[in-house]
């Protein structure tokens, strides 16, 4: 039994002894998502998940996996645990940085001889191994939830749209469409829980082309310069390609020709680019 209000906490119901009653401050797990009696996530939600992932990594530490094998395992077994919770309560920058370090150490094994982790994160056409970029994957998923907010006809979408509309009108005197199409990346006027979703929307250059104040059809949305047909995979690749374009404009491969570069490092990078590294290297 979970008392949802202050009044409910003071009630004694007939037959109550047959049930376990949730005490104040005691968490309860709903589909693996731990919340308190008010529905708020527990404070150590992401820290506990980080510990779970680190335990998984320790259990696989003795396996002689290649770089591509480690990247595959990190995507399918480790960071996949993040996304369900991320849809509900997006991690903060500090928490995302923690997970990124865990995955980076798993893939590179703290080696200083290997290239920077950003090189691993580039696509195959850029000489990388498509290692996960957690911020890009997270933002793509957040945009998928924002799309459900502005296009959905379910009960939760209607309620949230009404709350968002009221806040935007009272604080900025704008509609949802005007706020989503604004040239500025400001999150002013948005409810605190929706601000991470708006920041992700801005990164993917989202726009609303439909008329009225919603809900709109998915085809009325323009994301990453495309109409409708949004997918998390395509959005993630789009964000990765934006990073690669900026990276290619720097001296990404110039350092390998410098005399001061260690020969062993040159050799390792060359083999990495040609995918000729031995297993476990």
Q: Supply the DSSP string of 26-90, one letter for each residue.
A: --EEETTEEE-TTSPBPTTHHHHHHHHHHHHHHHTTTS---HHHHHHHIIIIITHHHHHHHHHSP
This prediction has a pTM of 0.77
Q: How far is residue 76's CA from residue 74's CA, in Å, rounded to a whole number?
A: 6
**Would you kindly state where each structural domain of the chain is located, as residue ranges?**
1-43, 44-132, 138-235
pLDDT tens-place string over residues 79-112: 988 888 888 888 888 899 999 999 999 888 777 7
Any idea what DSSP says for residue 255? G
pLDDT at 155: 94
DSSP string, 206-218: -EE-SSTTSPPPG
Beta bridge partners of 222: 207, 227
Nearest to 194 by CA among 232, 165, 224, 225: 165
- State the average pLDDT over residues 36-41: 73
pLDDT band at 44 (very low <50, low <70, confident <90, very high): confident
Instruction: Give dist(CA 202, CA 183) in Å, integer.
Output: 9
Confidence of residue 3 (pLDDT cuts 50, 70, 90): confident
251: confidence class by pLDDT, cuts 50, 70, 90: very low
Nearest CA to 40 among 73, 13, 2, 70?
2
Two structure tokens written together for 198: 């708006």
Mean pLDDT, residues 249-259 taken together: 58
Please name which of 194, 144, 201, 206 lies closest in space to residue 167, comparing C-alpha atoms: 194
Element of type H or E holding 178: helix 176-181
Residue 249 has pLDDT above 70, yes or no: no
Contact 20, 28 (CB under 8 A): no
Nearest to 85 by CA among 29, 126, 20: 29
Query: Looking at residue 277, what DSSP letter applies?
Result: P
Helix (H) / strand (E) element for 248: namely helix 232-248
Confidence band, pLDDT 50/70/90 cuts, at residue 255: low
Tens-place pLDDT, residues 148-203: 999 999 999 999 999 999 999 999 899 999 999 876 657 888 988 899 999 999 99
User: What backbone phi and psi angles, to 5 degrees, belong to 60?
Assistant: -110, 10
């Amino acid at each position: 039994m979970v008392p949802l209000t202050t009044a409910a906490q003071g009630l004694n119901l007939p037959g109550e002894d047959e049930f376990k009653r949730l005490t104040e401050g005691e968490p309860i797990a709903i589909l693996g998502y731990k919340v308190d009696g008010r529905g708020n996530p527990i404070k150590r939600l992401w820290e506990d998940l980080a510990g779970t992932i680190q335990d998984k990594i320790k259990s696989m530490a003795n396996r002689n996996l290649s770089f591509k094998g480690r990247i595959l395992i990190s995507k399918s077994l480790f960071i996949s645990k993040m996304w369900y919770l991320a849809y509900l309560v997006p991690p903060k920058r500090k928490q995302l940085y923690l997970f990124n370090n865990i995955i980076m150490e798993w893939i590179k094994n703290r080696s200083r001889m290997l290239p920077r982790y950003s090189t691993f994160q580039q696509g195959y056409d850029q000489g990388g191994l498509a290692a996960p970029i957690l911020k890009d994957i997270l933002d793509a998923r957040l945009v998928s939830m924002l799309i459900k907010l502005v296009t959905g006809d379910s009960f939760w979408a209607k309620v949230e749209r009404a709350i968002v509309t009221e806040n935007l009108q009272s604080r900025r005197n704008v509609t949802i469409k005007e706020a989503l199409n604004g040239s500025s990346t400001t999150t002013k006027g948005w409810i605190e829980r929706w601000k991470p979703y708006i920041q992700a929307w801005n990164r993917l250059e989202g726009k609303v082309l439909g008329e009225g104040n919603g809900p709109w059809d998915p085809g009325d949305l323009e994301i990453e310069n495309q109409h409708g047909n949004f997918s998390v995979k395509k959005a993630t690749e789009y964000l990765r390609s934006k990073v690669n374009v900026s990276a290619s404009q720097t001296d990404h491969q110039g350092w390998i020709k410098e005399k001061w570069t260690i020969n062993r490092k040159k050799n390792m990078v060359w083999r990495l680019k040609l995918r000729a590294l031995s297993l476990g290297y």
